[in-house]
Amino acid sequence: MWYFVRFTYRALGVSALLSAALFVSAQDHPSSAPPDSLPLKVCSKTNPQPCATAPHPIYTPDPEYSDKARKKKKKGTVILETVVGTDGLTHDIHVLHPIGYGLDEQAIKALGQWKFEPATKDGQPVPVVLQIEMDFRLY
């Protein structure tokens, strides 16, 4: 059975559809931000200064569809929140909206492999907080 996974990258109302066709096993990376440096939000109409430009995704592997979810024909959207560090890697990944059946874990593993060109403020890389949606659909 074929399945489709759609990623939506959300940064305070700014959405872009992202997709990729690879899955690589993942792990959460240690934070590269100094302890006194709090992550910023991405600039938007609803988020004034201090804010940062959005990071640009450069590698976004798909998660695997779990066997348990495939057998139960489970579908839905996992919403994750992460910090994209000054190194362009994701840190502190956690689930805001779980759907279960092993799909939350697969989404976390995949997001742990994503790579970005870092967000910037005044031309310098800064950490930012992002919400990422991963839609799981069986076709």
The CATH number of whichever domain residue 113 belongs to comes to 3.30.2420.10
125 located within any domain:
yes
* HEC letters along the chain: CCEEEEEEEEECCEEEEECCCCCCCCCCCCCCCCCCCCCECECECCECCCCECCCEEEECCCCCCCHHHHHHCCCEEEEEEEEECCCCEEEEEEEEECCCCCHHHHHHHHHCCCEEECEEECCEEECEEEEEEEEEEEC
Q: What is the pLDDT of residue 123?
A: 92
Among candidates 60, 137, 124, 136, which has minimal Cα distance to 97? 136
Show the domain range for 88.
Answer: 3-9+38-138
Q: Report the alpha-carbon angle 104-10-73, nearest 5.
A: 35
In a domain, 55, yes or no: yes
22 is a domain residue: no
Q: What is the pLDDT of residue 2?
A: 42
Tell if the pTM clears 0.85, that is, is over it.
no
What is the phi-psi region of residue 58: left when phi exceeds 0, alpha when psi lies from -120 to 50, beta otherwise?
A: alpha
Cα–Cα nearest to 3, from 15, 14, 19, 17: 19
| Token pair recorded at residue 2 | 């074929």
| pLDDT confidence of residue 19 | 28
pLDDT value at residue 14? 29
Residue type, position 3, single letter: Y
- The pLDDT of residue 13 is 31
| Domain-embedded: residue 18 | no
Q: Residue 126 falls within a domain, yes or no?
A: yes
> Is residue 86 included in any domain, yes or no?
yes
For residue 51, being part of any structural domain is answered with: yes
Residue 112, domain member (yes or no) = yes
Query: Mean pLDDT of residues grouped by 10 in the chain (139 residues)?
Result: 46 31 30 58 83 93 93 95 96 96 96 96 93 90
Domain count, the chain: 1
